């Protein structure tokens, strides 16, 4: 497959925006994912376009790598603003991703104990 990274970034932004706590925002722009929160000046952003290619040989490996990177950096942003672990309450669950049944799955927690997950992204939706 050949991936449209900017389209993937836009879809991932929608998926992440759906799971963040109230007041937080995730948006796509300039090959990046941007994280912000109401009433807070600082923002953070994950490099998507620039990092496509560093997570493996195949496009599938890179999609998983980018998704895990975004989950990790979003988690850091939310936890720092709220001063609490997120999305769990006692410790930071690790971000994971995998491709299964023609779709990308991304979540926090172990495979057998998902704490919070995104709606899957069909690979067909991110093909160039």
Partner 1 sequence: MIRKRIVCLLTCVFVVLFGAAVPALAASGQAQSTRVSGHEATLDVPGAVLTVHFDQPMTAAATARVKSELARLTSPATPSAHGPKGAYLYCDHLYSFKDADGDYTFQHRCGGTTGPWGYRLSTGLCSIVISDVHEHGMAWHRNGKRQGTQAQHTKYCRYQFHGNYNPDHDYDFISYSDTFTFRVDVGGETGNADLVITGSFTSAGCQNRIACGP
- Using CB under 8 A as the criterion, which residues of the chain lie in contact with partner 1 when the complex forms? 32, 41-47, 50-51, 54-55, 65-66, 69, 72-73, 76-77
Task: Quote the CA–CA distance of 20 and 61 in Å, as a whole number.
Answer: 25
Smallest distance, partner 1 to C-beta of residue 101, A: 26
Q: Which of left, alpha, beta for 11 (phi over 0: left; psi -120 to 50: alpha)?
A: alpha
The minimum distance between CB 43 and partner 1, in angstroms, equals: 5
Phi, psi (degrees; rounded to nearest 5) at 45:
-150, 145
Sign of the Cα pseudo-torsion (89, 23, 40, 9, in order): positive
- In the complex, what is the shortest distance from the CB of residue 15 to partner 1, in angstroms, rounded to a whole number? 18
Whether the CB-CB separation of 68 and 46 falls below 8 Å is answered with no
C-beta of 82 vs 119, nearer to partner 1: 82
Residue nearer to partner 1 on the CB measure, 44 or 103: 44
């Amino acid at each position: 497959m050949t991936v449209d990274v900017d389209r993937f970034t836009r879809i991932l932004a929608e998926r992440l925006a759906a799971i963040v706590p109230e007041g937080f925002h995730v948006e796509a722009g300039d090959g990046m994912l941007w994280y912000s929160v109401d009433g807070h000046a600082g923002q953070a952003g994950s490099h998507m376009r620039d990092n496509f290619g560093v997570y493996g040989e195949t496009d599938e490996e890179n999609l998983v790598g980018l998704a895990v990177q975004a989950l990790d950096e979003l988690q850091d942003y939310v936890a720092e603003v709220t001063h609490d672990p997120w999305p769990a309450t006692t410790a930071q669950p690790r971000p994971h991703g995998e491709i299964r049944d023609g779709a990308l799955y991304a979540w926090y927690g172990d495979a057998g104990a998902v704490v919070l997950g995104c709606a899957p992204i069909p690979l067909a939706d991110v093909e160039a």
